Structure 1
């Protein structure tokens, strides 16, 4: 759409100004910086531990943990696309992003978010085959099929946000564009444009429905079959064991969609602007913080592998005198 309402020069690219949290007092910037820095380091350390544990421990070379490695890698990439800029904003007051940097950040943020949703679907399918079709598991979940499922999740998510990002980049903007967020989120950038925003808002909403509710529907369908199969198991011990293999994944799914719900309600409800921004920040950091905690605290195999690595690094357990 052609736009002519802006005052910026047509020959120069706009610069984006991140407003951050408008009502946050400046004396609290340092406190919030250290909170976010702690959470970011927790995400990096926790997910790197899972990555190293799964790669180093032969007993974890199974489809379930192969997909967990993908999830951990996504959590690192997802938060790294936004949190370092938030930290720079809070500590140094670095609020400006160039046009290419803003749209690259927007693309990466939404791509990695979509990838996470699809990887959660693939993990649900893995649990479905393991519990509902155990005799077919070695045939249906071969290394080649696992790699194809993971690659499909990544590639689909890398392609889906492209139309919205490209169309948004052709909207009209002033020379300096205030973004009411701590990073370049699609909706925040669209709302800052001088162009008619309805088509872009609708496109963003449709893509969000595809990458949020369709994966959620597939996960719920998988677990409906899993629940039906588990309830047919006669022994209480067998049912407990089947449920325990799904508990970590269910908690991760719950945290992911809870963060989406918080961000959605913050945008749609009649709340102050700060709540809209904080809802997005929760979505950007909540799930990546919780995922490694869930898998290291609730999954005994991952916990055992990490404990084993820690013991090997401890001189008291290395066989030395």
Structure 2
């Protein structure tokens, strides 16, 4: 182990969200319910988009990718926490911890990039409707998603390698339910200045650039909507962006609260609560936000439910 990471610590203890047995039981049921709701909700979105040919357009292509990423995202943290509770263990190996961290933040970056791509799609649809089909081509959409995967993996690989070079000498208890960057840096007994600077510079650039693109898109969208003569037309245009704006606000609000301030100002309880919001609550709410405010998705989901019921009835009969 020392040759791999220059450390005397070979494993960490994930302390979870509570040390009280009664609270742990309640949290287990709560997180299991949220995990199942997240997976089921996003799977239904994927099925609805895949089975309805009317939804084979760029906006829903990005939404299906977002649903896939959210299933992967929540699956990197919650099952491990639930398994720890069932098995009565809190340990995770050093390599396992870095692996979990790698995948968690790869999917964070992917959410970030996909939300930006969806904002650009709305910008083109509202501001350049006559050129929508020529600008938002399948090739461009595929390139945006593929490029996002490449950049996300390269970015997180850099931060994972920087984490692997640190030494962890004594305390190995992580006051969290997954291997997050901030508590790991606090446990290190070596100089973390380079890690912190890379998070605040390169890491910030990766997160802020798509956010600026989203803001720029919505500034242009707002200007275009305000030029619409009818009030009904304005509300209809704003309504098409409402779901995306709700998801953007929830996602970026928690990310900024957790990661973009000095390490010394972080409090374990506050960071954990915010982390629950963006790793569990946001992926769970996304399919509900998009389906409840979208007639096309609701119609497609109705077909999926009807078809599933029909197949089950035939199988049982």
Counterparts of residues 107-126 of structure 1 (less than 5 Å)? 107-126=102-121
Matched residue pairs, number? Answer: 314
8 Å contact kept, 2:200–2:260:
no
Shift of 1:13: 7.0
State yes or no: 1:62 paired with 2:60. Answer: no
Which residue is 1:100 aligned to?
A: 95
Query: Which residue of structure 2 lines up, in the alignment, with residue 190 of structure 1?
Result: 185
From the superposition, tell whether residues 99 and 13 of structure 1 become closer, same or farther in structure 2 (CA, over 3 Å). Answer: farther
Shift in alpha-carbon separation, 1:306–1:30, aligned structure 2, 3 A: same
TM-score, normalising length from structure 2?
0.90
Is residue 223 from structure 1 mapped to residue 248 from structure 2 by the alignment?
no
CA distance in 2, matches of 1:121, 1:234: 28
Matched, 1:201 2:196: yes
Distance verdict in 2 for CA 1:220–1:22, change over 3 Å: closer
Pairing 1:279-290 to 2, within 5 Å after superposition: 279-290=274-285
Which shifted more, 86-95 or 51-60? 86-95
**Contact 2:17–2:176 (CA<8 Å) still a contact in 1?**
no
Runs of 5+ in structure 1 lacking a partner? Answer: 1-6
2: CA distance, partners of 1:75 / 1:22:
21
Kept in 1, the 8 Å contact 2:167–2:188? The answer is yes
Q: Is the alpha carbon distance of 1:112 and 1:12 closer, same or farther for their aligned partners in structure 2, counting shifts above 3 Å?
A: same
CA distance in 2 between counterparts of 1:263 and 1:92 reads 30
Q: How does 1:1-321 map to 2 (within 5 A)?
A: 14-21=9-16, 24-174=19-169, 177-264=172-259, 273-315=268-310
Alpha-carbon RMSD: 2.8
Q: Distance in 1 between matches of 2:219 and 2:73?
A: 29
Q: 1:219 to 1:288 in 2, by over 3 A?
A: same
Distance in 2 between the 1:12 and 1:188 partners? Answer: 17
Q: Deviations over 1:241-296 (max 9, x none)?
A: 21122111111111111222443489868675323323222221121011011012
Farther-moved stretch of structure 1 (254-263 vs 119-128)? 254-263
Query: Does the C-alpha gap of structure 1 residues 291 and 11 become closer, same or farther in structure 2, counting only changes over 3 Å?
Result: closer
Cα gap change, 1:8 to 1:128, in 2 (>3 Å): closer
Distance 1:292-1:215 versus aligned 2 partners, 3 A rule = same
CA distance in 2, matches of 1:254, 1:106: 24
> 267-276 vs 233-242, which deviates more?
267-276
TM-score by length of 1: 0.89
Q: Structure 2: which 5+ runs fail to align?
A: none
| 1:157 shift after superposition | 1.0
- Distance change >3 Å, CA 22–CA 224, structure 1 → 2: closer
Cα distance in 2 between the residues matched to 1:151 and 1:273:
35
Check whether the contact 1:18–1:182 (CA below 8 A) recurs between aligned residues. Answer: no
Larger % of helix: which?
2
- Aligned-residue offset at 1:207: 3.5
